[in-house]
Copies of this chain bind each other. A is one copy, B any other.
Amino acid sequence: MGNENLVFEKYLQSKGLKLTQPRKIILNAAFATHEHFDVDGLYDQIRKKQKDVSRATIYRTIPLLVEAGLIKQSLRCLAKDHYEHIYGHGRHLHLICEKCGKIIEVESKETENILNKLAKKHNFNIKEFNVGAKGICNKCQK
């Protein structure tokens, strides 16, 4: 339990927006797990906790969390957008198994350094890394 709440509140204030109850609930749900998540996942999780937030509000809140630098759009599985929180969670790349859907997270400063170098060569200002590979995981190879 970091201080995502504080970060979010600060961001909302800076935009003249309010940290309401639904927004708190959604923020909490997004940080309740270290797994990637989608809108329906959040919705179900929130409903299990007797809370009540509409899907519309979740869809409206996610861009705010992204803008605040708390979460990022991650992968797209089963035709749905997926997200993951980034605040308090080191950058990493993804190895995604095409068979079972397993996601392996790996840290790699090296790839970042290389990308930074290439970006500099093109005068490109990187905001978000997006590194990964698809293939077959250990178990599924048998």
Give the interface of A toward B (CB within 8 A): 76, 93, 95, 97-98, 104, 106, 108, 110-111, 114-115, 118-119, 122-138, 141
| B135 near A126: Cβ-Cβ < 8 Å | yes
Instruction: State how many angstroms separate the Cβ of A23 from the closest Cβ of chain B.
Output: 24
| Residues in chain B near residue A98, CB distance under 8 A | 127
Q: Could you tell me the distance between the alpha carbons of A93 and B131 in the complex, rounded to whole angstroms?
A: 9
| A133 near B129: Cβ-Cβ < 8 Å | yes
| Residues in chain B near residue A126, CB distance under 8 A | 95, 133-135
| B106 near A118: Cβ-Cβ < 8 Å | yes
Q: Could you tell me the distance between the alpha carbons of A131 and B138 in the complex, rounded to whole angstroms?
A: 22
| B131 near A125: Cβ-Cβ < 8 Å | no
